[in-house]
Amino acid sequence: MLSWRWIPVGGGRRLILALGLFYLLLAVVTAIVPTSHDDSIVGILTVFGFISASGVVLLVGGYRLPHTEVSPRFYADIARWCLTGIGVMVAILTLYHVQPDTGLSEPERSLPILTGFSCVAGFGVGMYDARAKTQTEKLERQNRLLERTQTQLEESNERLEQFAYAASHDLREPLRMVSSYLQLIERRYGDDLDEDGEEFLDYAIDGSDRMRRMIDGLLDYSRVDTQGEPFEPVALDAVLADVCTDLEVQIVDTRAEIEFGALPRVEGDADQLRQLFQNLVANAIEYSGDEPPQIEIDAERNGENWIVSVRDRGIGIDPAEQERIFEVFQRLHGRDEHPGAGIGLALCERIVERHGGEIWVESERGSGSTFSVTLPAADERPLRTTH
Ligand code: ADP
């Protein structure tokens, strides 16, 4: 590794141009100064050609440097490599020359020709080295920028989470008050109200219930990252069995059929995975249309991950709406058609993101939906599930 630092940063290119000029002049001088050896015109022209070629390469190379991707900070390094080339060649030739029984027959010609070539070789090596350094510098700059952006994003995410948490947490108390007083009015004065009054009170109670569900959903949403448990191997078939137990009432009421075989083990937070599949299966039941819901859950290995899919044969989703449904409070149906707070899929997306995966839906209106998530496989390789 070269450690010379005596070429100023701006002087590297000038030095390369000067070397080019030097070899051109040397070519002219070698051609016009007579020597004691073969002075044929062909010999003179050959020597002139060799030396001047090195000069031209250095001149053109030095001139074109600003048009290359090499950063000017590394021009001095290229110049150092040129000088190293010359130095190494001079050392070799000197060693060769001082050996007994050998020696250069025409040092005044071989020295400029060979040092010219080695200087050009040094230029080539220098360009390669400078390009690599420029690339490294560029990558380091981009990395720093990315790190800064990532830190800013994390900070702003954290602030948003804190805001959502504080807002939803603090809203719960006044809302609880509104709900309890509405219930009190209903209990105490319900009989005195006329038909309109009862209807208005029902709307108010329904509104406050809905707001409570939304706030609870927002609280869950804002806690996914901060209040999650550390990851551990989780058996998905056990998770799905629990989900079916939790949804037993809906399953029985709708006569839903849910099929899943030996599902794999994934690395994750068991409670959050239960929440994820509970939302997906509950939606598959809710949006199954008039027929009893038929739901299949299966898994397919994809590199380090498992793709787990929940498939229903329900009402389906228009492709144009498929992005929107993962946003907070976005719903495609009125509450009179299907109840819901519109936060289930947003919560699913956030849980899957915490597990480093993705969630997506494949669907057409009227022909069912398949929601798929990628989750990291647990260390040991589980059996592949087939349906
Ligand atoms: P909600 O709690 O209101 O169901 P979600 O976030 O879970 O909210 O779902 C958002 C919207 O996505 C729903 O209003 C519904 O229109 C649509 N959706 C979700 N799952 C399905 C499904 N399996 N089939 C058809 N539409 C669905």
CA distance 373 to 197: 47
CA distance 298 to 277: 12
Q: Which amino acid is at 255?
A: R
Tell me the mean pLDDT in the region 124-152. Answer: 96
Residue from 209, 285, 331 whose mutation best tests the ligand 1 pocket (most atoms within 8 A of CB): 331
Say which residue, 186 or 334, is predicted with more confidence: 186
Q: Please determine, for residue 124, whether its predicted confidence score (pLDDT) is greater than 70.
A: yes
Q: Which amino acid is at 383?
A: L
pTM summary value:
0.65
Which residues are 300's β-sheet partners? 307
Among 29-33, 50-54, 79-83, 301-305, the range scoring the smallest mean pLDDT is 29-33
CA distance 87 to 94: 10
Among 165-169, 235-239, 258-262, the range scoring the smallest mean pLDDT is 165-169
Q: Please determine, for residue 385, whether its predicted confidence score (pLDDT) is greater than 80.
A: no
Structure confidence by residue, pLDDT tens digits, 372-383: 999 999 976 544
CA distance 207 to 335: 11
CA distance 92 to 202: 101
Distance 36 CA to ligand 1 centre (A): 97
The backbone region for 374, taken as left when phi is positive above 0, alpha when psi lies in -120 to 50, beta otherwise, is beta
Q: What is the phi/psi pair of residue 373, to 5°?
A: -130, 145
Task: Report DSSP letters for 207-226, one per residue.
Answer: HHHHHHHHHHHHHHHHHTTT
To the nearest whole percent, how much of the chain has pLDDT over 70? 93
- Longest CA span, the chain: 132
Q: Is the CB of 325 under 6 A from ligand 1?
A: yes
CA-proximal residue: ligand 1, atom 25 (nearest) = 316
Size of the chain, expressed as the number of residues it contains: 387
Cβ(346)–Cβ(221) under 8 Å? yes
Nearest to 363 by CA among 327, 291, 328, 314: 314
Among 80-89, 96-105, 377-386, the range scoring the smallest mean pLDDT is 377-386
Q: Is the CB of 331 under 6 A from ligand 1?
A: yes
Distances from the Cα of 170 to the Cα of 163, 209, 323, angstroms: 10, 16, 31
Which CATH number is associated with domain 232-376? 3.30.565.10
Residue from 328, 345, 348, 363 whose mutation best tests the ligand 1 pocket (most atoms within 8 A of CB): 345
Tell me the mean pLDDT in the region 21-49. Answer: 85
Cβ(294)–Cβ(312) under 8 Å? yes
Q: Per-residue confidence at 25, pLDDT binned at 50, 70, 90?
A: very high
Q: Is the CB of 47 under 6 A from ligand 1?
A: no
Among 70-74, 104-108, 215-219, 267-271, the range scoring the smallest mean pLDDT is 104-108
Tell me the mean pLDDT in the region 217-240. Answer: 90
CA distance 381 to 368: 31
Q: Please determine, for residue 6, whether its predicted confidence score (pLDDT) is greater than 70.
A: no
Q: Per-residue confidence at 107, pLDDT binned at 50, 70, 90?
A: confident
Q: Is the CB of 287 under 6 A from ligand 1?
A: yes
CA distance 361 to 274: 19
Q: Which amino acid is at 269?
A: D
Q: Per-residue confidence at 162, pLDDT binned at 50, 70, 90?
A: confident
Tell me the mean pLDDT in the region 204-229. Answer: 88
Q: Please determine, for residue 387, whether its predicted confidence score (pLDDT) is greater than 50.
A: no
Distances from the Cα of 63 to the Cα of 17, 18, 122, angstroms: 7, 11, 16
Q: Where are the beta strands (DSSP E) in 303-368?
A: 305-312, 359-363
Distances from the Cα of 217 to the Cα of 211, 227, 261, angstroms: 10, 14, 31
3-state helix, strand, coil in the chain (%, to 5): 65, 10, 25
Question: Which atom of ligand 1 lies nearest, measured to the CA of 314?
Answer: 24
Indicate the average pLDDT of the chain.
89
Top mean-pLDDT range of 35-49, 212-226, 311-325: 311-325
Structure confidence by residue, pLDDT tens digits, 320-334: 999 999 998 888 877
Cβ(261)–Cβ(298) under 8 Å? yes
Q: Please determine, for residue 192, whether its predicted confidence score (pLDDT) is greater than 80.
A: yes
> Strand 232-235 and strand 294-302: pairing?
unpaired
Domain boundaries, the chain: 9-148, 166-222, 232-376
